[in-house]
Amino acid sequence: MVFTRQALPAIRPVNRLIDDGRMIVRTRLVAKVAVTTRSHNNSDEVMAYEADERDPERRTVWSVVVTGIGASDLNVTRLHRYIACNCRTHTTGGYMANASTDLQLMTELEPVAERLLNRHISMFKEWNPHDYIPWSDGKNFYALGGQDWEPGQSQLSDVAQVAMVLNLLTEDNLPAYHREIAMNFGMDGPWGQWVNRWTAEENRHSTALRDYLVVTRAVDPVALEQLRLEQVTRGFSPGQNHQADGDLFATSLFDSVIYVSFQELATRVSHRNTGKACDDTIADQLLARVSADENLHMIFYRDISDAGFQIAPNEAMRSLHKVLRNFKMPGYTVPGFRRKAVIIAVGGVFDPRIFLDDVVMPQLRKWRIFEREDFTGEAARMRDDLGLLVDELEEACAKFELSKQRHLEREARRAERITANRVLSTTGTLTLSRK
Ligand SMILES: [Fe+2]
Ligand SMILES: [Fe+2]
């Protein structure tokens, strides 16, 4: 399909169905072709569609090009009829000519999703957020006759405060993640059940973390609420609201399951290390509990991705390559993320070494990315490029260690100077005892 995007020609592989003289293209709401069509609904958006095939033996080529006006069709009756016609199986164009469609993949992976959902429910340990909150430490704020928050009330270190806020805001952004996976997984059958169950469990995390932080006065609750509003308003998808360059939407089932395999593992590690950084038994237990949930989420996504690598290795590799080459942490859209990320990296909660050793490599090993021999063509080249990426991440770890070392040395010298200055400024009052 050829259309105009920002005054330039854009070409996207699409699927099509012919219905009553009209060509029906089924697409995700966020796909470029759909966004373009919607934004031009009040004017005419000229589009062209080409289908072709090449016979290498006879050395013949045929192609058909049609042009017409594009428009969104949101008529529910017609949509159901199109779905029943299964128009997504008629994928054409570019490398997608031989690719399985998302609908085929979802159907093929549905029994796996059902098995993993049942395994998840059997392994899940029930817990209640209120059991992890020291309610008797709480008191009213000014609006109810008490005292508002002041920095001196926090018992957490600076690193623990930043890590807690970052983790909570990541959990707060649940509506964006729900939207992301619901759009790629669908809402029916085991896939839909997983989306809903996962959403309910994730919601518990933000409830528990916010209650803990507000009751213990660990951080400013007003700033926390403002950050939550800003974060959820920003959304999540890299690429959304120009948060990152390029076309980084998760546009397929594999994009989503592979991204969240890494994301869930990253949050598991981050919650666990944050719990330790808090130096408070209750916070440590709460974050260990949340971390255990994240682990169960991670193994669902990791294992369904693994099944995806078995049935469609090349398509799974394309998604893996896209995800890792453009990886952004789920907290990427948190206001002031870069500064916060540096603080928790220096504080040892989440740094480049942890990302590579505890998040990236375990998944690559589990999927046997560097051992398997079923990647072909472009996918095989992408696997080789992932080898280079791992080397680049190693270099980034070494660079980070070096700058962290220098930073800590600078801090130590500064602390020494402050102590020396204090001693000098109090010399007159010192008394020495002689024996
Ligand atoms: Fe969570
Ligand atoms: Fe999770």
Compute the distance from residue 233 Cα to the ligand 2 centre, in Å: 21
Give the Å distance between the CA of 198 and the centre of ligand 1.
9
Q: Which DSSP letter does residue 170 get?
A: H
261 CA from centroid of ligand 2 (Å): 10
| Amino acid letter, residue 385 | D
Distance of CA 190 to the CA centre of its chain: 22
Query: Which ligand has the shortest distance to the CA of 295?
Result: 2
From start to end of 351-430, where are the E strands?
Answer: none
294 Cα: distance to centroid of ligand 1 (angstroms) = 6
C-alpha torsion 406→407→408→412, nearest 10? 100
**3-state class (DSSP) for residue 138:** coil
Exposure string of 241-272, with b = 16+ CB inside 10 Å and e = fewer, is eeeeeeebbbbbbbbbbbbbbbbbbbbbbbbb
Which ligand sits nearest to residue 171's alpha carbon? 1
Enter the DSSP assignment of 124.
Answer: P
Do 178 and 256 contact (CB within 8 A), yes or no? no
CA distance 46 to 65: 13
> Quick one: which ligand is closest to 202's CA?
1
C-beta separation of 223 from 198 below 8 A: no
Determine the distance separating the centroid of ligand 2 and the alpha carbon of 193, expressed in angstroms.
Answer: 15
CATH classification code of 102-411: 1.10.620.20
For position 326, what pLDDT does the model report? 86
Closest ligand relative to 173 C-alpha: 1
For residue 353, what are its two tokens? 């070494």
Write down the pLDDT at residue 11.
83
Ligand nearest to the CA of 260: 2
Residue 170's pLDDT is 92
The count of C-alpha atoms lying within 13 angstroms of the C-alpha of 126, restricted to the half-sphere facing its C-beta, is 0
- Each residue's pLDDT, cut to its tens digit, for the chain (435 residues) gives 888 877 788 887 777 777 767 788 776 654 666 666 666 555 567 888 888 887 777 788 888 888 888 877 766 556 655 655 544 433 333 333 334 577 788 889 999 999 999 999 999 999 999 999 999 999 999 999 999 999 999 999 999 999 999 999 999 999 988 888 887 887 788 999 999 999 999 999 999 999 999 999 999 999 999 999 998 988 776 544 444 555 566 678 898 899 999 999 999 999 999 999 999 999 999 999 999 999 999 999 999 999 999 999 999 999 999 999 988 777 777 888 888 888 999 999 999 999 999 999 999 999 999 999 999 999 999 999 999 999 999 999 999 999 888 888 888 888 888 777 776 665 554 444 443
3-state SS class at 6: coil
In the chain, where does the domain assigned CATH 1.10.620.20 lie? 102-411
The gap between the terminal CA atoms of the chain, to the nearest Å, is 94
Nearest ligand, CA 194: 2
Compute the distance between CA of residue 160 and CA of residue 164 in angstroms, rounded to an integer. Answer: 6
Q: What is the pLDDT of residue 433?
A: 47
The pLDDT score that the predictor gives to residue 29 is 53
**pLDDT at position 78:** 65
Q: What confidence score (pLDDT) does residue 107 get?
A: 87
Measured in Å, residue 203 CA sits from the centre of ligand 2 at 10
